Structure 1
């Protein structure tokens, strides 16, 4: 297979016109010994794509192709790649590189490497090459961060698991969720709905949490045992002993966060996985923490080993995110981004049709 010197992509040319993505070409980083080239066949649209495309997280460079829920076939391997071969079906998440030699990488927590490189909106540390994501015909990255997809998972089902799935799965793993654990999931969206699916597969008693009752029926279809609308008076009656809450919502306003803390048992855990826009921060009263004895933690994607374990777990337990497929094109990407901004998707778009669009 002949790999082009430049990769074709769809992305943001002008951040002020982010809903008008265009096709462009970019030159990837020079192939290193441990790199792989992947021909993309599907890519989930994550909420991070919206933040990246509209400039919420800065405007470091353009053009920019987002997308870090990538599934495709290995098209080329570097001379020192041993775990993958040409033709393997693999997935790529939100990380494409790390230093590989620090204490964190050596302990198998590469996702916390201080030189972590994101799949897009980032730069390689050695030569400052900007990274480009999976709204493209090919991606090139460190093979450590490309994972074989189990045969039981279709490409469109596997794609959202590579970021949204592991992001919701890891807090459950960290908290030791098992049969009978009382898990709250705050925010019933792309990541939240997958977190519910994983928690139920682990045997947990799951309480879905949202501001109002609009998503109650959806939460029940996902398998939630209980539902809380935090804007309702007396919402916390009978639900104040959750072992852990995974907060997948983007708002960290003091009032909403306090409401969630009141639902957790003493010595329980609040684990948040989202990064809100730059102008919003989390404020806490020490007294409230002392009184509740609740731990507040952050969780960041997952290590390669954790992602591989998550994929195997999803295959074994038939975890299937709720998706809507849409063929990649400038117009369709714009439509999908606008619909996501409007909350008009249940619960994840997956881009397909790469072979036709990029032929």
Structure 2
């Protein structure tokens, strides 16, 4: 099909009016030999979208069209593209381009490329911008375009490319398997995948939440224990009970000391949620006393994506999603901000964009 010179999406024009998502026409980066043009069919709604639209993380370039959990049809491929052909159903996550030559790219850790261009709100070296998937088309480098297995419904696979990948990667890196003890802070979009995946890998999973209202859901997802952090002294009965904690929370006042106290000797707490403020002060003796580590993790690699999709197929893992028309994205984003997702909203293209 013919791909238009200009794409159209829903986005915000300023931080002061960021919730008013209107139609925005934009020019994508110049099409190159390794690029793939995708006609968007579904796009998940991520917490990163809200932080960017609102300017909460700083550095938002307005107008801003977000969305980096994209599934659609490949409608144009560059001359040197080998892994995708026109007509394929493909997915895209938070990243759109990397150099391919640095030590990170050469080691298959392209998500840590120093010149990484993310799917939206970044600039390419030629000065053109990257734009997200609340739009009719997306233009992405082949390195970050993935085949969508026929066994997984496309609406369900969309949020796997960010939320799912973001928690799968550190689980894989920490060699989680039978006998592992994993804690998950925050049972939301990322957290529900962390419970699903860790359970499927054979780990005993402890869900950690500020209130008891998600206990039933956490149990259905596969958690074997539930900890409520609003209860006095909640950490005392769980000291040194976990090998790995994935923190998916964006909270500004998180009890970091108490989280670290849950780690057994040699354990790690990995941040996959990014608050809009600095982390709380931390006494180094807390980590020295248990040889524990505080780490971060940025999405995942291409190999991680493919392994994650295989796990989803093998274990018949189902995303907990609610699908809404793309034209309702402003309402859906507001509901996401209010914490109403259970556990991921997905936008479906509905003909409202050309």
Measured in 2, the distance between the counterparts of 1:60 and 1:183 equals 34
Q: Where do 1:8-87 residues align within 5 Å?
A: 8-87=8-87
Q: Where do 1:122-141 residues align within 5 Å?
A: 122-124=122-124, 126-141=125-140
Measured in 2, the distance between the counterparts of 1:62 and 1:262 equals 42
Q: Where do 1:1-359 residues align within 5 Å?
A: 1-124=1-124, 126-240=125-239, 241-251=241-251, 253=253, 256-277=255-276, 279-329=277-327, 332-354=328-350, 356-359=351-354
- How big is each residue's C-alpha offset from its partner over 1:33-53, in whole Å with a ceiling of 9 and x where there is no partner? 100100000000001000011
Deviation at 1:237, TM superposition (A): 4.4
Contact 2:13/2:64 (CA < 8 Å) preserved in 1? yes
Deviation at 1:161, TM superposition (A): 0.2
- How big is each residue's C-alpha offset from its partner over 1:232-290, in whole Å with a ceiling of 9 and x where there is no partner? 1242344232111111111364x60111111111111111112211x333432112211
- The SS at the match of 1:207 is strand
Contact 1:15/1:59 (CA < 8 Å) preserved in 2? no
Measured in 2, the distance between the counterparts of 1:315 and 1:91 equals 16
Measured in 1, the distance between the counterparts of 2:55 and 2:90 equals 29
- The SS at the match of 1:15 is coil
RMSD: 1.3
Measured in 2, the distance between the counterparts of 1:307 and 1:122 equals 22
Measured in 1, the distance between the counterparts of 2:301 and 2:59 equals 27
Deviation at 1:58, TM superposition (A): 2.0
- The SS at the match of 1:16 is coil
TM-score w.r.t. structure 1 length? 0.95
Runs of 5+ consecutive residues of structure 2 not aligned to the other structure: none
Measured in 1, the distance between the counterparts of 2:314 and 2:28 equals 36
TM-score w.r.t. structure 2 length? 0.97
Contact 2:52/2:60 (CA < 8 Å) preserved in 1? no
Contact 2:321/2:345 (CA < 8 Å) preserved in 1? yes
